[in-house]
Chains A and B, each alone.
Chain A
Amino acid sequence: MTPALIHPSRRELFAGFCKVGITAFGGALPLVRRMLVEERRWINDQDFLEYLGLGQVLPGPNVLNIAIAIGMRFYGIGGALAAAGGLMLAPLGFILLLAEMYDRFAGSVALHHLLGGLASVAAGLMAAMGIRLAMRLKRVAWRYLVAILTFAGVAVLQFPLLAVLLTMAPFAIILSWHTARRERRA
């Protein structure tokens, strides 16, 4: 039997997301799942998948969207503010501190060199993330076509993102709808 879920207080919502915020490096989603489902048991795995799907369909920062949806589940708008505030406040303060230091040492050759190496690795990490997502893509021709055209639009042709999205999103959703309809018939 699965243990009963726990109903957090507003303060616990804030504290839980605060912990995710300060311990998350390079993507907070796996941490959010562990905190919500395993450690604090506010929701179960199936709930989490639904929140994750919602967070990814909606535009904007995924983790923030999930924090808002979870906060609302328990306390409406007050819960959303507690969860979002917990997630954002400490990391925001920390990044502003880093910005201040960046300005102060802007003329430093050592900092310039250090950031050069850091930036090359950060670029490699982003490329790896794209490759990992692409390897998980279902082997359907139109999905590859959409991914390639989107990539070409933003990266090679350097079109404005809005133009790429307004072209590719409807195209992709129509194809997805067509596939779903064919699968239902089969």
Chain B
Amino acid sequence: MNGALLLSLAWRFGLFSLMAVGGVNALVPEIHRQVVVLNHWMSNADFTGLFAIAQAAPGPNMLFVTLIGWKVAGLAGALVATLALCLPSSLLTYQVVRLRERFSDAPWRQTIEHGLAPVTIGLTLGSGWLLLRTANAHWSGWVLSVATIPLALSRKLNPLWLLAAGALLGLTGWF
């Protein structure tokens, strides 16, 4: 196993952990930039395919990172990437909760929360845009993506049905 590669994964994903403002969804463009654009560890199709698998699987959406780690460096890579993504933010949470009694009603916490909300929105939209661009090599893919948006916004259907429909339509080979 390549130790240098694992170390590189560990510090990259450890940094991602502390940059995941509003959750892991914020990280999609940065992970893409590092694993596809800068390091050529996988293709666009791999990247969006792995993202889609994680969305269709049960569990927290951070498991996308587990699959990225797997693709880069096998089982060890999967475990290193997952642990690196979880550990720094978890330690921070642990410390903050321990001290929480002292500032649970502090006005600055709300100030930070309200300030970061639009940043989170910009990052989530950025993740959406990056996935739309990289998942859709042909116009037919764009049609499928764009058709998904109003269905998802209406909230009448469980997203799992939309993903299942996408997988079935995909078997036609049009996307």
In the bound complex, what is the Cα–Cα distance between A96 and B78 (angstroms)?
8
**A92 to B48, Cβ gap below 8 A?**
no
With A124-B132, A149-B122: A173-B22 Cβ-Cβ less than 8 Å = no
With an 8 A cutoff between CB atoms, is A77 at the interface?
Answer: yes
With an 8 A cutoff between CB atoms, is B114 at the interface?
Answer: yes
Interface residues on B, range: 35 or more
Nearest Cβ on chain A to B34's Cβ, whole angstroms = 9
CB-CB nearest in chain A for B54:
A95
**A87 to B67, Cβ gap below 8 A?**
no
**A131 to B149, Cβ gap below 8 A?**
yes
Q: Which residues of A contact B59 (CB under 8 A)?
A: 21-22, 24, 28, 88, 90-92, 94-95
Q: Which of A117, A144, A179 has its CB near the most chain B CB atoms (within 10 A)?
A: A117
With an 8 A cutoff between CB atoms, is A143 at the interface?
Answer: yes
With an 8 A cutoff between CB atoms, is A13 at the interface?
Answer: no
CB-CB nearest in chain B for A68:
B93
Which secondary structure dominates chain A's binding surface?
Answer: helix
**B111 to A180, Cβ gap below 8 A?**
yes
Which of A4-12, A36-44, A161-169 lies on the face that meets chain B? Answer: A161-169
Which secondary structure dominates chain B's binding surface?
Answer: helix
What are 17 of the A-B contact pairs (CB < 8 Å)?
Answer: A26-B159, A61-B85, A90-B59, A99-B71, A102-B67, A116-B45, A119-B49, A119-B52, A122-B135, A125-B152, A126-B127, A130-B128, A160-B33, A161-B19, A165-B21, A179-B114, A180-B111
* Chain A residues close to B by CB (< 8 Å): 21-28, 50, 53-65, 68-69, 72, 77, 80, 84, 87-88, 90-92, 94-96, 98-99, 102-103, 109-110, 112-134, 137, 143-144, 146-151, 153-155, 158, 160-162, 165, 168-169, 172-177, 179-180
Q: A25-B160, A59-B17, A127-B125 are in contact. List 18 more A-B contacts (CB 8 A).
A: A26-B55, A55-B93, A60-B89, A61-B86, A62-B22, A92-B59, A95-B63, A117-B172, A118-B170, A122-B51, A122-B55, A122-B135, A126-B28, A126-B131, A129-B25, A131-B153, A150-B126, A158-B33
